Amino acid sequence: MNIRYSYPYYPYLKLRFTARNQPRVYDIDAYIDTGFYDDERRLLPGSEASIPKKRVRLIVPLRFRDELGKPDFSESISLADGREYESPAYYGGIKVNGETKPRPAVILCLGNGCLIGRHLIDEFKVFFDKGKVLTIEDC
């Protein structure tokens, strides 16, 4: 795969995601949060015991919950300020601009914005150019 593109909506990354139980494809701008370590998480009691570590976490606004339907499981999210929330979670896939094959993902509904963390962006060279343009390249 050879991806290189610049995106003028700094510091957002254009993504496409799907949820397992929905045929619709969603195009979103996800805020890159370098403090969001989306591979470290705790499952709530009663949730599935084992979820593959390689699934990227994507947070989308809570308003998606109604459209995505019944969640596959719930996940506890710890925010930087120490607050914890229970989030509906869906198995799905995401593509970064230019990718042809989706990456396995867990879609979490929380808050009012889209957020992607280190688990995805650590697989790319990411350049934050003077607070104006985001450029990503394959490693």
The pLDDT of residue 37 is 61
Give the integer Cα–Cα distance in Å for 14 and 114: 10
- Of 47-51, 103-107, 121-125, where does mean pLDDT reach its minimum? 47-51
% of the chain beyond a pLDDT of 70 = 80
Contact 31, 114 (CB under 8 A): yes
Give the integer Cα–Cα distance in Å for 70 and 135: 36
In this structure, the number of other CB atoms found within 10 A of the CB of residue 129 comes to 10
**Given a cut of 70, is residue 113 above it in pLDDT?**
yes
Contact 44, 76 (CB under 8 A): yes
The pLDDT of residue 45 is 47
67-109 per-position pLDDT tens digit: 999 999 998 887 778 888 899 999 999 998 778 888 899 999 9
> For residue 67, is it left (φ>0), alpha (ψ between -120 and 50) or beta?
alpha
Which residues, 6 or more positions from 114, have their beta carbon under 8 angstroms from its beta carbon? 15, 28, 29, 30, 31, 58, 59, 60, 61
